[in-house]
Structure 1
Amino acid sequence: MAPRVVLIGPPGSGKSTVGQLLAGRLGVPFRDTDADVERAAGKSVSDIFIEDGEETFRALEAEAVRLALAEHEGVLSLGGGAILAEATRELLAGHRVVYLEVGLSQAVQRVGLASARPLLVLNPRSQLKKLMDARRPLYEGLAGQVVATDDRKPEEVVDEIMGGLLP
């Protein structure tokens, strides 16, 4: 058992929106590991960061990814920082991984500077740029397909992913 597609990318890349549309197109379920973490912890990702710290969140996230990769057969969306864990990167080997690439200005528009994203609290635009720059090589190294999302409708992104799924 393995996901049909695993979506990775920074905040604002469209993983949830595109993932749900892609799952619908493929006729499979959609799963988001951030939602799995929230269910397991009984609180929001923001609250986990604030009350328990990033280390606790990352441990919960790594376990959520491990479980989802083992038991989910549909489209799986990983939290933007899930790929930071070496164990997660190792688990992704052999899976169909699609990196949803987004530029800083589009990510800022989509995420919003007043969002409740814990890693973007102080100077959100600068923090988002640092996250994106630091993680880009990891995303690119894991992906079998890179799909640009800037100035595109989610349906267009799904069309491109679907084209990459053909044998």
Structure 2
Amino acid sequence: MVLVGPPGAGKSTVGQVLAARLGVAYRDTDADIEQAAGMPIRDIFVEHGEPYFRRLEREAVAAAVAEHPGVLAVGGGVIMDEGSRALLRGRKVAFLDVGLAEAARRVGLNRDRPLLLGNVRAQLKQLMDARRPWYEEVATVTVLTDGRTPEEVADEVIKTLELDRS
């Protein structure tokens, strides 16, 4: 299964909880990109630019979808690419939705998120508004994460997608 959503939705944290509860492996395409590039994502943006990062992201998603049978968390911008959206269609995809206030609180002034530098709240709103239709397009289920623990979100994902626990 795949987790999509904006920054601050809890994809990485919920993904790890889900994987543990389901008895499967967890994988995060952002970690795959950093490993392949040999540097943090923020440095990829600075040294090579966003188009280069998006190419690495497309490759990471394609590899993970082909190879990984467990829980997969993908970066918030993955759904901007039609090819990546096509890879997600037909799979169990949970859109972890989050309100602007909650996302801003969770992300804070995180300097590791290059697209959120400056006015974090305004940048988040712009990203969330632009990407929402794509998240909804690929989602099998939408789960609101505001005010909920990662465990509560994971439980709802398992219940709504009717996933078997090991």
Q: Which category of TM-score, normalised to the shorter sequence, fits these structures?
A: over 0.9
With over 3 angstroms needed to count, the CA separation of the structure-2 counterparts of 1:78 and 1:165, relative to structure 1, is same
- 1:71-110 Cα distance to aligned partner (Å, 9 max, x none): 0000000000011111001111111000000001100111
What is the match of residue 128 of structure 2? 132
Determine the C-alpha separation between the residues in 2 that align with 1:166 and 1:64: 27
Determine the C-alpha separation between the residues in 1 that align with 2:89 and 2:116: 29
Contact conserved, 1:98 with 1:145, CA < 8 A, in 2?
A: yes
What is the match of residue 21 of structure 1? 17
Determine the C-alpha separation between the residues in 1 that align with 2:87 and 2:137: 14
Percent identical residues: 60
What is the match of residue 86 of structure 1? 82
Alignment of 1:138-149 (within 5 A): 138-149=134-145
**Over aligned residue pairs, what C-alpha RMSD do you find?**
0.9
Task: Describe the SS at the equivalent of 2:75.
Answer: coil
Q: Identify the match of residue 106 of structure 2 among 102, 106, 110.
A: 110
What is the match of residue 77 of structure 1? 73
Contact conserved, 1:92 with 1:142, CA < 8 A, in 2?
A: yes
What is the match of residue 50 of structure 2? 54
Structure 1 segments of 4+ aligned residues over 3 angstroms from their partners: none
Task: Describe the SS at the equivalent of 1:7.
Answer: strand
Structure 1 residue 164: deviation in Å? 1.6
Q: TM-score w.r.t. structure 1 length?
A: 0.95
Q: Which deviates more, 61-70 or 117-126? A: 117-126
Determine the C-alpha separation between the residues in 1 that align with 2:55 and 2:106: 27
Matched letter for residue 152 of structure 1: R
What are structure 1's unaligned runs of at least 5 residues? none
Structure 1 residue 129: deviation in Å? 0.6
Task: Describe the SS at the equivalent of 1:116.
Answer: coil
What are structure 2's unaligned runs of at least 5 residues? none
Determine the C-alpha separation between the residues in 2 that align with 1:115 and 1:163: 35
1:121 matched to 2:109: no
Contact conserved, 1:113 with 1:125, CA < 8 A, in 2?
A: no
Matched letter for residue 92 of structure 1: L
Determine the C-alpha separation between the residues in 2 that align with 1:12 and 1:116: 12
What is the match of residue 152 of structure 1? 148
Structure 1 residue 141: deviation in Å? 1.1
- 1:17-53 Cα distance to aligned partner (Å, 9 max, x none): 0000000000000000000000000000000001000
